[in-house]
C-alpha cells in the first residue's frame, strides 16, 4: 500500500482522544553518522491531525482539549494505540497520554 500524506482522513476521534502522525526518525546523528533502519528509535514526537471534542465533566459539560490540529506533541514511548488508516500509520492517544506540546 502506498503512503499518501494528502489523503483525506476518514477518522473522527471521540471524547478526549487525539490522532497523531508520528514524525519520522532521524536518518543521521548530530555527529553526521548515518543510521540504518534497525538502529532508529521509534519517534516519540508527532503532529496532531485530528482531535475529539473533549471529555465530559461530572456535570455533563464538555471540557476543551489543550491541543489542537496542527500542534506538535511529545508522548510516551508505549502510549496510545497504533492504527493504519488510508495507508497512513497513525497513533490514537488520550489527552492525558500527551507529555508536552512543542512551542516554536
Q: How far apart are CA 75 and CA 77, in angstroms?
A: 7
Domain that holds residue 49: 17-26+41-102
CB atoms closer than 10 angstroms to residue 99: 12
- The pLDDT of residue 86 is 82
- Is there a domain that residue 34 lies in? no
How does pLDDT run across 2-18, given as a tens digit for each residue?
A: 444 555 677 888 888 99
Confidence of residue 88 (pLDDT cuts 50, 70, 90): confident
Q: How far apart are CA 8 and CA 3, in angstroms?
A: 12
Confidence of residue 23 (pLDDT cuts 50, 70, 90): confident
- Is there a domain that residue 89 lies in? yes
Which of 91, 90, 88 shows the shortest CA–CA distance to 3? Answer: 88
- Is there a domain that residue 32 lies in? no
- Is there a domain that residue 36 lies in? no
- Is there a domain that residue 10 lies in? no
- The pLDDT of residue 73 is 94
Asked if residue 104 has pLDDT above 90, the reply is no
- Is there a domain that residue 73 lies in? yes
- Is there a domain that residue 59 lies in? yes
CATH number of the domain residue 93 falls in? 2.30.33.40
- The pLDDT of residue 44 is 84
DSSP annotation string for 2-33: ---TTS-------TTEEEEEEPPPPSB-TTSP
- Is there a domain that residue 1 lies in? no
How does pLDDT run across 30-85, given as a tens digit for each residue?
A: 666 666 666 556 668 899 999 999 888 899 899 999 999 999 999 988 888 899 88
**Domain total in the chain:** 1
Amino acid at each position: 500500500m502506498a503512503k499518501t500524506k494528502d489523503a483525506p482522513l476518514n477518522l473522527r476521534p471521540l471524547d478526549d482522544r487525539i490522532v497523531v502522525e508520528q514524525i519520522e526518525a532521524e536518518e543521521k546523528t548530530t555527529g553526521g553518522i548515518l543510521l540504518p533502519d534497525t538502529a532508529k528509535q521509534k519517534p516519540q514526537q508527532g503532529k496532531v491531525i485530528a482531535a475529539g471534542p473533549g471529555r465530559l465533566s461530572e456535570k455533563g459539560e464538555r471540557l476543551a482539549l489543550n491541543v489542537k490540529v496542527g500542534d506538535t506533541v511529545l508522548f510516551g514511548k508505549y502510549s496510545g494505540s497504533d492504527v493504519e488508516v488510508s495507508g497512513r500509520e497513525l497513533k490514537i492517544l488520550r489527552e492525558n497520554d500527551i507529555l508536552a506540546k512543542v512551542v516554536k
